[in-house]
């Protein structure tokens, strides 16, 4: 059994994927969850990520569309986690969107994905359909990266397509939609690991270290 000390609380942020051992007695009473975990399939961390005392991980299961999407929420013992991973790199899931990939690299960031393409890549199950959105992530940790990458992203025409959604995560917590950022409003919706709030676009730089 893993110890909660093996994976510090900072590892459990939104969009992270976690793996549990289905052999533990905790899962014997839930056959559906056990059957999902037995082949080594992951769950995804959801808000608020951890319980108040840090002993449980808030996770979700997104099942393949059959024919509609189904999502199930769980709170599972953190001590039973055997692996935690950042969302997969987009380039490991698809070779499309090269201009966006290059824009991310220009800012020293890695383009990742957390939606249907991520689930399909991690499980081998059929998630991606003709109507699937492309859910992308950029984790930024400094103001210079944001300045560079925001300028590069403004030149990427693919981001104007309705099926491509890019979420930018600041310092591992506050995130916002690029589509909202380039919209006419001066405010954006920030989504954090424990809360959601409406803020000014100018707040973005305050969420990042640096000058």
pLDDT tens digit sequence for 61-112: 999 998 788 999 999 999 999 999 999 999 999 988 998 998 999 889 999 9
Mean pLDDT of the chain: 92
Domains and CATH numbers, the chain: 4-85 (2.30.30), 90-207 (no CATH)
CA distance 47 to 190: 13
pLDDT band at 211 (very low <50, low <70, confident <90, very high): low
CA distance 21 to 148: 41
Q: What is the pLDDT of residue 17?
A: 98
Catalytic residues: 133, 135
CB 111: neighbour CB atoms within 10 A?
19
Q: What is the pLDDT of residue 2?
A: 46
């Amino acid at each position: 059994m893993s110890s909660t000390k093996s994976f510090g609380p900072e590892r459990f942020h939104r969009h992270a994927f976690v793996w549990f051992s289905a052999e533990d007695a905790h899962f014997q009473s839930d056959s559906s969850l056990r059957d999902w975990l037995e082949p080594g399939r992951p769950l995804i961390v959801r808000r608020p990520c951890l319980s108040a005392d840090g002993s449980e991980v808030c996770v979700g299961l997104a099942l393949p569309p059959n024919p509609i999407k189904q999502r199930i929420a769980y709170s599972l013992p953190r001590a039973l986690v055997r692996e935690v991973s950042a969302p997969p790199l987009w380039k490991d899931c698809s070779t499309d969107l090269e201009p966006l990939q290059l824009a991310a690299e220009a800012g020293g960031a890695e383009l990742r994905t957390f939606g249907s393409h991520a689930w399909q890549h991690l499980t081998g199950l059929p998630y991606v359909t003709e109507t699937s959105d492309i859910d992308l992530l950029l984790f930024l940790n400094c103001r210079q990266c944001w300045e560079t990458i925001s300028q590069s992203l403004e030149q990427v025409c693919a981001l104007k397509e309705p099926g491509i959604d890019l979420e930018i995560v600041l310092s591992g917590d506050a995130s916002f939609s690029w589509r909202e950022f380039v919209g006419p409003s001066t405010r954006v919706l920030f989504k954090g690991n424990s809360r959601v709030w409406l803020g000014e676009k100018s707040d973005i730089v305050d969420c990042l270290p640096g000058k």
